[in-house]
Amino acid sequence: MSMAGERYVDHDVLKTFAQSKVNVPQEEAKERRRQVNHLRDRLEGYIKDHPDFDLVKLRASGSTAKHTAIRRRKSEGSDADVAAYLRATSTDIDVSTMLTWLRDRCIEIYGKTKVADDFVISNHAVGITMRGSDLKIDVVPVLYTGEPDDRGYLVTRDGTQVLTSVTLHLQFIKARRDKAGDGYRELIRLLKAWIRESKNADSDLRCKSFLIELVVAHLWDNGWNGEKLQVDDYPRAIEQVLAYITRTGLKTPIVFTDYYGTDAVASSWDPIQIWDPVNPENNVARGYTELDRQRLVNRAKTTLDILGEAAYANSKGAAVDCWRELFGPAFPGA
């Protein structure tokens, strides 16, 4: 689709919106770091006193570490992720207990200042909610076996071990940001804001943040329809991402060769296949059904049609109304 006519909502408008309504404010980012550092400092001491696992290292991870996190709304908790690399002190220790063991250590750290409901075990992390700030810290136990580049194994609730590397994930996005510029990560944040608004409209919509990051990385690496990803033109770049999702239907596997060859990728019948750049056996979209794929593709198509209306709008108000369907009533923001 070729967008023509006067563009009432251009790159500068979206950039201003991102800075005022999407990006994490400096004070909030500072508070995230303070809370995470406090946890890290205390965790080191408490684990030393409980010999089932040795704490090898702690690494900031996730969207906050990658600078792709978006600001929270009042009804939401913010997420900051910490990977705790642990080594079992004995071969007799059942590593499937790591999540429960780590939760107990986190409870000890905060003592009587929190209640049991503030500590929740998910499939692969211990979530800690800070009631004062509504910040949620996910502490992810990673079984460390001595491999280089911070490679280790996420241990899920049922004991499944999934290869990961905080360091290589950070290097993956940094390598692309260094070439593309600051617009690369801000584009990801805008797309995450679109997904959040889309989930408000359709609670059954599935699209995790990491999936969006990898779609953007794929388009930066390969372009779309003979054109590079326009990270310095946000309206165009958003259109490119939506057009890619719509036209491919997310039926084409996405594979990155930064750390392994394409022949290493596991076979899969999953409807969406977007492979973790660190682990060729981990499909980021594993568990998504055919209905999930269709719902996400349909949402992208609907949004693309709305952008078409915005491009040909005969007034700024009409164009802004279209963009509000993407980002909610806060757009364009003051």
Q: How many Cα atoms within 13 Å fall on the side-chain side of residue 179?
A: 11
Question: Distance between CA 306 and CA 322 in Å, rounded?
Answer: 6
pLDDT score recorded for residue 287: 93
Q: Work out whether the CA dihedral 9, 11, 17, 23 comes out positive or negative.
A: positive
- Residues 155, 287: one domain? no
pLDDT over 70 at 44, yes or no: yes
% of the chain surpassing 90 pLDDT: 60
Q: How confident is the model at residue 14 (pLDDT cuts 50, 70, 90)?
A: very high
- Residues 199, 229: one domain? yes
pLDDT score recorded for residue 294: 98
pLDDT score recorded for residue 7: 79
Enter the pTM of the model: 0.91
Q: Which of 113, 147, 165 is the last residue of a domain?
A: 165
- Residues 196, 284: one domain? yes
If you average pLDDT over residues 130-143, what whole number do you get?
A: 83
Find the CATH number of the domain harbouring 279: 1.10.1410.10
Residue 5 lies in a domain: no
- Residues 314, 269: one domain? yes
pLDDT score recorded for residue 123: 87
Find the CATH number of the domain harbouring 31: 3.30.460.90
- Residues 277, 213: one domain? yes
Q: Assign residue 224 a region (left: φ > 0; alpha: ψ between -120 and 50; beta: otherwise).
A: beta
pLDDT score recorded for residue 304: 97
Report which of residues 295 and 133 the model is more confident about: 295
pLDDT score recorded for residue 78: 54
- Residues 145, 191: one domain? no
Q: Name the residue among 246, 248, 228 with its Cα closest to residue 237.
A: 228
Q: Which of 165, 183, 203 is the last residue of a domain?
A: 165
Interaxial angle between packed helices 166-180 and 183-201, expressed in degrees from 0 to 180 and rounded to the nearest 10 = 110
pLDDT score recorded for residue 53: 83
Least confident range from 13-17, 23-27, 89-93, 170-174: namely 89-93
If you average pLDDT over residues 26-43, what whole number do you get?
A: 80
If you average pLDDT over residues 218-232, what whole number do you get?
A: 96
pLDDT score recorded for residue 2: 38
- Residues 76, 183: one domain? no
If you average pLDDT over residues 4-30, what whole number do you get?
A: 86
Q: How confident is the model at residue 5 (pLDDT cuts 50, 70, 90)?
A: very low
Is there a contact between 290 and 271 (Cβ–Cβ < 8 Å)? yes
If you average pLDDT over residues 37-48, what whole number do you get?
A: 78
Q: How confident is the model at residue 1 (pLDDT cuts 50, 70, 90)?
A: very low
Tokens of 311: 């491009």
- Residues 182, 282: one domain? yes
Is there a contact between 112 and 55 (Cβ–Cβ < 8 Å)? no
Report which of residues 83 and 58 the model is more confident about: 83
Residue 153 lies in a domain: yes
Residue 3 lies in a domain: no
pLDDT over 80 at 214, yes or no: yes
Computed over every residue of the chain, the mean pLDDT equals 89
Q: Name the residue among 198, 190, 179, 180 with its Cα closest to residue 15.
A: 190
pLDDT score recorded for residue 76: 57
% of the chain surpassing 70 pLDDT: 95
Range of 227's domain?
A: 11-21+170-327
If you average pLDDT over residues 46-69, what whole number do you get?
A: 83
Burial class (CB in 10 A: 0-12, 13-18, 19+), 45: exposed
DSSP of 78-118: EEEEEEEEEEESSTTS-GGGHHHHHHHHHHHHHGGGS-GGG
Is there a contact between 155 and 161 (Cβ–Cβ < 8 Å)? yes
64-91, pLDDT tens digit by residue? Answer: 889 898 987 655 555 788 899 998 887 7
pLDDT score recorded for residue 269: 96
**Structural domain total, the chain:** 2
Main-chain phi, psi angles of 80, to 5 degrees: -135, 135
Q: Is 120 helix (H, G, I), strand (E, B) or coil?
A: strand
pLDDT score recorded for residue 73: 67
pLDDT score recorded for residue 6: 60
- Residues 88, 161: one domain? yes
Query: Counting every residue, how long is the chain?
Result: 334
Question: Distance between CA 215 and CA 118 in Å, rounded?
Answer: 34
Q: Is 130 helix (H, G, I), strand (E, B) or coil?
A: strand
Residue 4 lies in a domain: no
- Residues 188, 204: one domain? yes
165-208, pLDDT tens digit by residue? Answer: 999 999 999 999 999 999 999 999 999 999 999 999 999 999 99
Q: Would you state the torsion angle of the CA atoms of residues 182, 184, 188, 194, taken in this order, to the nearest 10 degrees?
A: 90
Residue 1 lies in a domain: no
